[in-house]
Amino acid sequence: MRVLVTGGAGFIGSHTVDALRLRGYQVRILDALLPPVHTSQVLPDYVPTSDIEFVYGDVRRRASWEQALEGVEAVFHLAAYQDYLPDFSTFFHTNTVSTAHMYEVIVKRRLPVRKIVVASSQAVYGEGRYTCPEDRNHLSRFSGRHRGEYPGARDGSQMNQGLWDILCPQCRRPMVPQWTDETVVNPQNPYGISKYTQEMISFNLGRRYQIPTVCLRYSIVNGPRQSFRNAYSGVLRTFTQRLLTGKPPICYEDGRQLRDYVSIHDVVRANLLVLEDDRADFQVFNAGGDRQISVREYARLIGARVRSTIEPQVPGLYRVGDARHSLSDVTKLKALGWKPTVPLEQVVDEYTAWAVEQPDFRDYSEEAEARMVAVGTIRKAVPLVSSMRADGPDRAIV
């Protein structure tokens, strides 16, 4: 079977290409090699050129799809635009319109595509699911796995004051984040909205034209080959760069945000599972780490693994559009036989060992932060309450 991987020269794409080759698939890559992920129009060294086909093209252009889809039986649509910049149209052209192009070409040309796997994101949840442990009366309105509240985005006045927690709409006490399953979607930034529209296109057109389609909502994926320059590639990249150049990690908000980081190797296993298992057809699955850790805890873990005693700093900065907590429930994907197996310590060790061997490794974080400050994506809070502290407990109870 010939499989097309869009974005196959990137982070998740290249690891997926490796796994497909080992499985005996014929692989074709469609990639435009665009910055900030890539620095030149030359394929990275980790992309094999001997036994893969490479199509240089842009998923935003129908002609690129027409060339790349010829003779293909399955597609991993992994190419995406991810950033914190206010490039609103770029999110939708790259993530949403590209998906429409893919189905349009397949349908109009009657191509024999047997499976499509689309990369989505936990960003479609926005703030996800929360409960209020203090107010039992309003909790009685909910039942089963839907129990809880799905709040909207925190407003600017709250963030400007350094009030980070999601508050109960009735009692105004801080709410507790819960693991969020696939049933409720509430995207709150351009990236999340573009990913959800991508899902809607995929499932509607996939069902209408009998093209088995699966969407995977990745949590924060970590591992080798993550771009050093892409601000969206996460804190493992940023914290490693800073610690290994003698600088403290910078935690936004209060550093107590909870996340579920997942290894690239676990994500690739999920990719291949849903490609090969018909039970996954026309469904969406979370692919996450199944463990929660605060950003500040992760900074300290990375510091310990690289033998640094530098403590993280919490200067009261925040990013517009960030979710307070992001925790994806992977129960549904586990039912197909998958589970995350790579511990965070191994994730960090593998990434740092790879990073320091790269000729372009250095600290890019200050450049990225300056750019986001200039466009208003990163802002400084001015707390009204002087008693706010950044040295309290890291964990929330989940």
Average pLDDT over residues 116-142: 79
Q: Are 83 and 162 in contact (CB under 8 A)?
A: no
- Is 396 a residue whose pLDDT tops 70? no
pLDDT tens for residues 241-260? 999 999 999 999 999 999 99
Q: Which residues of 75-96 are buried (b: 16+ CB within 10 A; e: fewer)?
A: bbbbbbbbbbbeeeeebbbbbb
Tokens 């676990």, residue?
Answer: 266
What CATH number is associated with residue 73? Answer: 3.40.50.720
Residue 252 lies in a domain: yes
Lowest mean pLDDT: which of 134-148, 225-239, 280-294, 341-355? Answer: 134-148
The mean per-residue pLDDT over the stretch 222-239 comes to 87
pLDDT: is 155 or 113 the higher one?
Answer: 113
Provide the token pair at 221. 């994926």
In this model, does residue 386 exceed pLDDT 90? no
Terminal alpha carbon distance of the chain: 43
For residue 104, which of 215, 216, 211, 214 has the smallest C-alpha distance?
211
Task: Say if 353 falls within a structural domain.
Answer: yes
Could you tell me where the beta strands, DSSP code E, fall in 40-98? Answer: 52-56, 74-77
Mean pLDDT of 66-72: 98
pLDDT recorded at residue 398: 38
The verdict on residue 143 lying in a domain is: yes
* 85-102 confidence digits (pLDDT tens): 788 999 999 999 999 999
Res. 388 pLDDT band, cuts 50 70 90: very low
* Tally of structural domains, the chain: 1
In a domain, 387, yes or no: no
24's CB contacts (< 8 A; 6+ apart) are none
Angle at which helices 190-208 and 98-108 cross, to 10°: 10
Query: Is 395 part of any domain?
Result: no
**Residue-number span of the structural domain to which 77 is assigned:** 2-380
Average pLDDT over the chain, rounded to an integer: 91
CB 285 within 8 A of CB 270: yes
- C-alpha 145/C-alpha 290 separation (Å) is 17
**Residue 35: band (very low, low, confident or very high) from pLDDT cuts 50, 70, 90:** confident
Q: Which two tokens stand for residue 230?
A: 């892409």
Determine which helix (DSSP H) or strand (DSSP E) holds 56, and give its type and residue range.
strand 52-56
List CB contacts of 322: < 8 A, sequence separation 6 or more.
Answer: 252, 253, 257
* Residue 391 is assigned to a structural domain of this protein: no
Closest by CA to 220, choosing from 198, 202, 239, is 239
Q: Which one-letter amino acid corresponds to residue 290?
A: D
In this prediction, residues 347-369 reach a mean pLDDT of 94
pLDDT of residue 37: 85
Q: Identify whether the C-beta of residue 38 lies closer than 8 Å to the C-beta of residue 47.
A: no
- Classify residue 197: in a domain, yes or no: yes
Mean pLDDT for the stretch of residues 62-71:
98
Note whether residue 393 is domain-resident.
Answer: no
- 216 in Cβ contact with 120 (< 8 Å): yes
Give the max Cα distance, the chain: 65
